[in-house]
Structures are given as C-alpha cells and as structure tokens.
Structure 1
Amino acid sequence: MASHRRPPGAGHRSRLPHRPYRRGQGSLRRRGERVGAGNPAWLAAARVEPDHAGAVRRLLDAGAAVRGIAHTDEFAYSLAGTNAHYGTPPNPAAPGRLPGGSSSGSASAVAAGQATVGLGTDTGGSIRVPAAYQGCFGIRTTHGVVDRAGLLPLASDFDTVGWLTRSATVLKAVGEVLLPADRPGGTTDLVVVPALLALAETEIAAAVGAWLRARGAATERWPGIDIDDWRRAFQTWQAYQAWQCHGGWLATRLDTLGDDVRRRFEHAATIDAATAASARRAAGDARRTIRDLIGDRVLVLPSASSVAPPAGDRLPAVRDATMRLTCLAGLGGLPAVSLPLRTESGLPTGVCLVAATGRDRDLLDLAVSLA
C-alpha cells in the first residue's frame, strides 16, 4: 500500500525519507495485515495483526510511511530470492539474474526506485546477498540490538533485523532511528584474510581485492580454522531451530512449499537432539573464535561468493559457497554492512564490512565515508 511522508508538524518530527518497503508477505508484521511468510497456506491461516512490528513502529514514528508490501522466499529460508507461489522479483541491476533473498522483494523495490528503504531480516545473509546482487547498500545488525518483536522467526539464535537502501546516507539515517546510541570502542582499521577472499569466485575476489588495495587494508592469516566446519555448524543449528519453530505446522503441510525450501525443511526434520546439541556447541565455539579474531578492527570480505546467478543455475552450490562467507557474521552475532561494487564485466557485487558487536553505528559512519 502507498502513502506519503507526513507534513511538518503532523505527529512526530520527520527524520526519514518516505517510501520504505517491508516484507508484509514476509516476516515483519504491520497492524491490520497478515504475515504471509511467502506461503499462501500460511497466509490463509494467519490472523490480522493487531500491532506493528517494533522496527516498523519506530520507523513510522520517525516519519516514514509504508509504500508497499513485498514478497519473500518462503519462511525466509533461502538466499536465491525465488518463490514458487508468487514468482521471482526482478533484479533491476542485472536483468535476467536472481534478485537474492530472502529479502528479495524489498531489495527489488529499492533497486528499482520504488522505495527508499527496504526492511527485512538477515539470518544467514538475507540482507547482504540481495544487496550485493542488486547494487544496494545493506546492513545486518548486531544480533538482538534491534527490537525483534513482531518478527516471524526462522532461527532465533541468528535472526536479525536489517534494511537496504540506494545510498549510504539513507542507510545511516535508518540506523539513527533503530539503533541504540551506545557505541563500544574500536578502530576503523581494515583487515582482509586472503583465505576468506579466496572463497569467492575470481571476478568477485578481484573486485574486492582492488577495493582493499585502494584503501590500504592490512592482510592477516587465520591459521587453524575450518570455514566448512563453521558453515555446517551454522546450517545444522539453523535448520534444527527452524524445524522446532515451524515443524508443528509444516509436518502435514510440506507439500505446500516450493521444492527448494521443502528440501531444507525435510532435512531439518531429520536432525536429532544430539546432532543439534553438537552443532550448537560448535557454533558457540566459532562465535568466540570469530569475535576474538576480529577484535576491535573491521574485517572486509565479499558479501557473496558470486554475482547473481541466472535462475536455476547451480543454486545449491552457490548457496553453500556464499554461506561460507555470510555465516561468519551470523555465528558471531556481528553487524555487517554491504557496500555496492562492480566486477570488471560490469555486474553488481558487494564488499562486506564486519565489526564487533554493537559497532553498527561505526560501520554506518564508515560506509558513508567510504561511499
């Protein structure tokens, strides 16, 4: 639904551009609407929400207005941006290629100029990946730092609120509304780990590498870590939580899901408590290690392992490759900001800045200065 910014003096002082998109068919509620989770069967059974999600309420109070309701991947459990029921949102920055998900509709609305802010969630990369694929700015906030009331959960240990914009200044303006004022100490020293850069495809690594060299980033080795072990721990614990959250409803309704999301939930249903407990311990160990390694600096890595692929092209392999990169912030519970770049062939990609917990505002300031 469309609306306009309130005139000066009407209600609270306006501090934000108007026209945000949020995922109403997705996972953040708005009063008077139903949360659809990208699935028609869920939408049909959903109640009309009596109140806004916490993040939506704060943005409205700051002068924003809801411009429209966007679609998401089913239950926000994908990075591709496809939806078997409602179709795939376009990628205005790379026509014919996937938009990235799960905040796909929000990202497409922003990239197309239909909205100023796209509100969504980021569990395993659902803001950072569409930002990279569509040439937007995007932030995954520190786990738990932004009010998650009214958010349809997927994996509560990793779910965070995030948003996408076409400029760093607007990205920061939203943060001034949603983020706490407190800032932990830290530097803006940039550090890159070659082993992480090498996880991306050649053209992505080249674009991010050139960006790093132009800014004098320091190089650092992280010996004795296994990124695939971290990814598996993340995905296993995420899947177990997703089934604990939604399995009661989905157990007799798996046939209502698109093929890719159904396969993930079918796998999630097979994870026993012992396997989940082991994955949870591994995720906790990874969290402590990642936080120690980053310290008070800013880690730089690709936002996604590849450019946006064409629909149906190597999607499981692309997902796993990208999650080797995106799981670091997820496991660490860390804030991450994606800045748009272009590859040598002209396709959009992203460079990701990751810092210690609570340094969201520092990253937004850095994004403005770097942009």
Structure 2
Amino acid sequence: DFNIKYTINPDKPIVKPEGLTKATCKMEYKSDAKDLTAEKFVMVNVFNADGKVYVDHMEKGLPDAVMCGTVSADGKSVEVPAKQYLGIDLEYNAHVYVLTGNAKIDGAGTEKPFFNYDKTASIKLTRDASGKMAAEYPASLVVNCGRENLYIISDYVAPRFVSQEDKAMTPADPVFTADDIRPSTNFDLVKFVLPVKDVDGNDLNVNELYYNVYYNDAPYVFTPEVFKGLTAPMTDIPYAFSDTEFDIYPSGGKHTIYFYDKNYTKLGVQSIYRGGGEERRSNVVWVNRPVTGIDDVNADMREVKSVSYYNVAGQQIAEPASGVCIKRIQYADGTVKAEKVIK
C-alpha cells in the first residue's frame, strides 16, 4: 500500500467552438475479422470549423466528447491524430482515448479470428467520388481505455463517413410483452426492445432516439431517490443511456430496467425521435402488471372475466378432478392469475 504512486493526467478533452452547424453521418466500418465484407455502422455528428472537423458520439459513455481532424488545403482529405482524450468513462472507470492503428487479424484460420492493431500516429480519411470520407483498410480508429496499452472499448476498421439527411421520422413501436416483466419481492425486472427503424423501415439516428416509460397513465419520472445511479430526475431516457448502478441499461438489443416502484397496474413504453426540427412519438405499448402471489392481496376484489382448469399435463379440463390441477383466473382488466388446486 505504501508503494502506490498517483499521477495527475495532464490531458484535457477537446472543446469544439460554439455555434457550429451539425451534420449527421453514418460511420460505417468492417465488423468481422472472419468476413471483411461484413459491415456495421454507428451514427455520429460531424461539425466543421476553420479547417477542423469535430466528431462526437465516438463512445457511448461520453456522447458529447469529440475527436478532431485537420482538413487538407485542397479539402480532399482529413488527418486524424492518435491519442485524443475523450474523458473519464464511469462504466469502465478509465480515461478514454481515440487511438489510431492498422488492423491485423489474429487467429486467422480459427473459428473465432479477431482484429488486433499496430498503433500509428494518425490515419487519413480521403474523399471519394461520391463525397464520402473514408480510410482504406487496414487503417482504423480505436476507442481505448488509456493512451498506450490496448484495452479496447470499440474499434472501427476502415471507417467511412456517409452523410445522412436530418429529417423528421416516426419511430416504430417498441416491442414489449407480458413476458418482459418479471416480478420479484423488491423490484420488477422490465425488458423491452426499441427498434432503431422508423415506421417505413428506414434507419434512425439512435443519438436522437429516446423513450418514456409510462406508469399507469403518465410518463414516469426516474429520480435519484429511487434510482441511486442518477444525479437528476429523468423522464426522456436517451437510447444508449446507462446509469452508474446499472438499474437502467441497454444490452444485447434489449433495454433493461430494475423497477422499484411496484404500485402500478400497467406499464407502457413509447419511443421518441427528434429529427428535422420535430419531435415524433410512437404509439405507447402497454403491458398489464403480472399477478403474482408476492403482492396480489386484492385479487379477489376484482371483476373476474373467466375461470378455467388444467391438469398437470397442461390439458384443459371441464371441472377440477381428484388430485392436483391448475386454476386459471382471467380478470376484466386483462391480468391473469394461476393457482394450484388440490381436491
């Protein structure tokens, strides 16, 4: 403990000038070391000013941090230097940098080859005939924990910036079903999918995509008193947002919330998209709260719509028989309760 040495990081995040016009771009990149034709993309914002280009959303934990490149005198290329400091990402508890490098494939010929990198001082993006700015393979951008050793957060092999029209779009409805709420004693685990397409199947800029969770009939306000990983109340949640306690986070194509405020009869999810100077919303997708033995003390007071019985093999039967069967009660509010009957 007496040999620990603390060093102040002298690096500072780049600050772009105020009042710049934003252009939305897809940053396309090679995504599979086994198939160099496979590509993915992320949405970024690009700002131009006085021979400089600034790009944000390079790292989801630091969406407003920017990397910077220098435009050539003829305007046909941009040079992006390495070791650009983005800031501290609390998820990784690390100083995050944009590095540059040449991709190489480790594990070639195996079942799971992967990209590794020889670091470089910079990469050059060149404008092609269609106006796209691109770096030729193997040139790459690497978002990394630290400025020296590779601890990669995300990597973009042969990045290509494709301009996108900023326009008003109506987001597709969330995917949210009764199976996506899992009750427990202290919280309900809630999961849902927010499509990144509009109602016509076009790609949305996820940096402009938000969602509301409806608690009964009103948008829910997430507060630091309940969600300890927040520093301020939130209603409109950004698509890529995670709190520091991981009570709210996206992962594996789904959004997850540990919902502690359990006094609801129904929850809803609504997507919000802000583009082209407009805000458009999807429909609210509703799910009734599952009825469980944990807290269903008022079930007998609700209006019953139907009652049915099933044997232990899951086959519906007319009346309870001797032995064990399952009684299924459906209430007028749409909720369902199942209970074991022994006769």
Q: TM-score range with shorter-chain normalisation? A: under 0.3
Q: Which has the larger radius of gyration?
A: 2
Q: Which has the higher helix share?
A: 1
Greater relative contact order (Cα 8 A, min sep 6): structure 1 or 2? 1
Q: What TM-score results when the alignment is normalised by the length of structure 1?
A: 0.19
Q: Which has the higher strand share?
A: 2
